[in-house]
Amino acid sequence: MDQFPALLIVVPLLAAPLAVALPGRRLPWMLATGVSWVVFALAIGVLGRVLESGAISYTMGGWEPPWGIELRIDLLNALVALIVTGIGAVVTPFAGRSAAAEIRPQNTALFYCLFLLTYTGLLGITVTGDIFNMFVFLEISSLSSYALIALGKDRRALTAAYQYLIMGTIGATFFLIGVGLLYSLTGTLNIADLANRLPAVAGTRTVHTAFAFLVAGLGLKLALFPLHLWLPNAYTYAPSAVSAFIAATATKVAVYVMIRVLFTVFGADYSFGSMPLQPILIALSLVGIVVMSLMALNQNDAKRLLAYSSVAQIGYMVIGFSLATTAGLTAALTHVFNHALMKGTLFLALGAVAYRIGTTLIRELDGLGRLMPWTLSAFALGGLSLIGVPLTAGFISKWYLIVAALELGWWWLAAIVLLTSLIAVMYVWRIVEAAWFRDPPAHRQDVKEAPLALLVPLWVLVAANLWFGVDTRFSAGIAARAAEALLGAGP
Amino acid sequence: MDALGLYNYWIVIFLMMAGFYTVISHGNLVKKIAGLNIFQTSVFILFISMGYVSGGAAPILEEGVTLYTNPLPSVLILTAIVVGVATTALGLALVVRIREAYGTVEEEEIHVQDKDF
């Protein structure tokens, strides 16, 4: 039990080289699936401990913090770890059939190795309590996801991965500059220690500069409009399982790091009081939501449409935490949780479509609802959740966000959130209309429903969307407690 | 301390801007990677400069020495250098694959080819 936090990182890390050593194509996949379930169980265990007895601190190698690296898990990162591992536990089984169809056979073992390394990186960022360690894990997850994206079939996957590499590295280097400046003032890298020592030097220009570098770097990583340029291509041309996994987890983890830096390291008073961050972030997010939703309307490829919608959805999360109130943070964290579920569902559904017809272009989806009813109805339900229809997970996050906006008396913000949901109705409808209200062309008549190996993971996520749309005790409940802790702990 | 006394930091700023500008302005994919390298290197120098204590000896325990420089930034930068090497290697590998697929490493020509699809 005590070793769980370390095992969350160590298990996927050790399994990664093992996946390359295993012969054949099925064994690496079985290993990855096993690992994804083990870490999911570990994450549940850790969350249980945190709920029971408060934050866990684990000293790596027995070196006491702030000298050694500390793994520190409170409700916030326990929740994020649960999201990452939960999505992983569903996507990895899906990857078996899906990746076999999209990736060259000789690359299969490497694919699972990279997949596990991405997993390691994301979990490492989530559990660590050391800000330099965070940078290292950020780079582990980024480097392996660049390579994963480059495994896509289309040659544009290569340029997408290259573009992501350039922008991602700039983002990470900005983060590193910020960390360096903070270290030069405080002499510590431990997040809790940093938070204690920063108020004494908060007025200096070095801290202002560090703050700017950290926010800009993380803005690149979480694809905050207008720093999102790498995202649409990367999500579009990556293999289906990778799109689903990265879309549902990588940007969420970046949002987590942003929240951690703004609220734990600098504290809400500094980030949103002394620094004019709130108007900047809210303005950028609002423009981003509107522009990206309109861009989504004009896409020909369903995967690309979802990618643009992802940038818009990130805007909702950023608005949530920029309000810097308990209600706003709760909304942001709930949306992090729910958006992972809905985008996971939608990308997996498209993965199943790509498995059968080899493309996700919207004009090729005509009449597919009749040929693959289970897949496309899962897509429709995921779409409803994305729009925010009552009884789905998406409704809960929109609800919390609107309540948080109204609490501050910002009715215009609530109105924009509602109006942009209407654009979401329009772009989801484009796909639903093509799939369900048109006749399948003659050459598609023999397309069969996706195999069970793809449908089961897909419907597990659909069920989660519906479940967390009704029972919010878990998702919003933990989010609310984490939000209170974040705002209460700030200096 | 006068402004030139901190010349390390002026070098850092110069390299940082030169590298960053190269990444943004060049259309050649290899040159972009080179720019990225210069950009990262500037950060390495920033960290190492921070760790230096005026008059401090190298951080190796020795009798009679009381003032040491701070070894931690150098250790951090060792890690960052590894990350930088991995990034460069991956970036160049992607450039090789891009050249195989497109026959060019110029960004504009790649854009032209992709529009044909």
The tokens for A414 are: 């609530």
Judged against a pLDDT cut of 50, whether residue A331 lies above it is answered with yes
Instruction: Tell if the CB–CB gap between A183 and B73 is shorter than 8 Å.
Output: yes
The total domain count for chain A is 1
The candidate with the shortest Cα–Cα distance to A250, out of A198, A206, A200, A310, is A310
pTM: 0.93
The predicted structure's pLDDT at residue B2: 63
The predicted structure's pLDDT at residue B77: 92
CB atoms within 10 A of CB A404: 25
Segment among A13-22, A58-67, A287-296 with least mean pLDDT: A58-67
| Residue ranges making up the domain that contains A464 | 276-491
Q: For residue B60, what are the contacts with CB-CB under 8 A and spacing of at least 6?
A: none
CA of B41 to nearest chain A CA: how many angstroms apart? 10
Segment among A59-68, A229-238, A475-484, B33-42 with least mean pLDDT: A59-68
Judged against a pLDDT cut of 60, whether residue A489 lies above it is answered with no
- Provide the phi-psi class of A457: left if phi over 0, else alpha when psi is between -120 and 50, else beta: alpha
The predicted structure's pLDDT at residue A108: 87
- What's domain B3-115's architecture? Orthogonal Bundle (1.10)
CA of A76 to nearest chain B CA: how many angstroms apart? 27
Classify residue A243: in a domain, yes or no: no
Instruction: Assign B97 to helix, strand or coil.
Output: helix
State which residues of chain B have pLDDT below 70. Answer: 1-4, 116-117
Judged against a pLDDT cut of 90, whether residue A173 lies above it is answered with yes
> CB of A479 within 8 A of CB of A123?
no
- Predicted ipTM of the assembly: 0.93
Q: Which of residues 41-60 of B touch A (CB under 8 A)?
A: 43, 46-47, 50
| Residue A391 CA, distance from chain mean position | 22
Q: Which of B36, B90, B95 sits opposite A147 (nearest CB)?
A: B90
Classify residue A336: in a domain, yes or no: yes
The predicted structure's pLDDT at residue A391: 87
Q: Position A436: which residue type?
A: W
pLDDT, tens digit (0-9, with 9 covering 90-100), for A294-316: 999 888 888 999 999 999 999 99
Residue environment code for A189-206, b if the CB has 16+ CB neighbours within 10 A, otherwise e? bbbbbbbebbeeebeeee
> Least CA distance to B30: which residue of chain A?
A162
Q: CA gyration radius for chain A?
A: 21
Instruction: Tell if the CB–CB gap between B91 and A136 is shorter than 8 Å.
Output: no
Judged against a pLDDT cut of 90, whether residue A326 lies above it is answered with no
Q: Which of B36, B73, B94 sits opposite A158 (nearest CB)?
A: B94
Classify residue A147: in a domain, yes or no: no
Judged against a pLDDT cut of 70, whether residue A490 lies above it is answered with no
CB pairs under 8 A between A and B: 67
Segment among A44-48, A182-186, A313-317, A363-367 with least mean pLDDT: A363-367
pLDDT, tens digit (0-9, with 9 covering 90-100), for A335-356: 999 999 999 999 999 999 888 8
pLDDT, tens digit (0-9, with 9 covering 90-100), for B36-48: 999 999 999 999 8
Instruction: Assign B57 to helix, strand or coil.
Output: strand
Classify residue A324: in a domain, yes or no: yes
As to burial, measured by CB atoms within 10 angstroms (0-12 exposed, 13-18 middle, 19+ buried), residue B24 is exposed
Query: What mean pLDDT comes out for the span A193-219?
Result: 89
Q: Which of B20, B83, B101 sits opposite A155 (nearest CB)?
A: B101
The predicted structure's pLDDT at residue B87: 94
Classify residue A409: in a domain, yes or no: yes
Instruction: Tell if the CB–CB gap between A176 and B114 is shorter than 8 Å.
Output: no
Q: Which residue has the higher pLDDT, A363 or A118?
A: A118
Q: Which of B76, B86, B97 sits opposite A158 (nearest CB)?
A: B97
**pLDDT tier at A491, thresholds 50, 70, 90:** very low
Q: Backbone phi, then psi, for A408, in 5-degree steps?
A: -85, 0
**pLDDT tier at A357, thresholds 50, 70, 90:** confident
B36 close contact with A: CB closer than 8 A? yes
Place of tokens 């643009």: A308
| Residue A319 CA, distance from chain mean position | 16
Q: Is the bond into A226 cis (omega within 30 degrees of 0)?
A: yes
The predicted structure's pLDDT at residue A162: 93
Q: Backbone phi, then psi, for A103, in 5-degree steps?
A: -120, 140
pLDDT, tens digit (0-9, with 9 covering 90-100), for A111-138: 999 999 999 999 999 999 899 999 999 9
The predicted structure's pLDDT at residue A475: 83
Q: Is the bond into B71 cis (omega within 30 degrees of 0)?
A: no
B87 chain-A contacts, CB cut-off 8 A:
139, 143, 165, 169
Instruction: Assign B71 to helix, strand or coil.
Output: coil
Mean of the per-residue pLDDT values of chain A: 89
pLDDT, tens digit (0-9, with 9 covering 90-100), for A437-471: 888 888 877 888 888 888 898 999 999 888 888 88
The predicted structure's pLDDT at residue B116: 54
Q: Which of B76, B94, B102 sits opposite A165 (nearest CB)?
A: B94
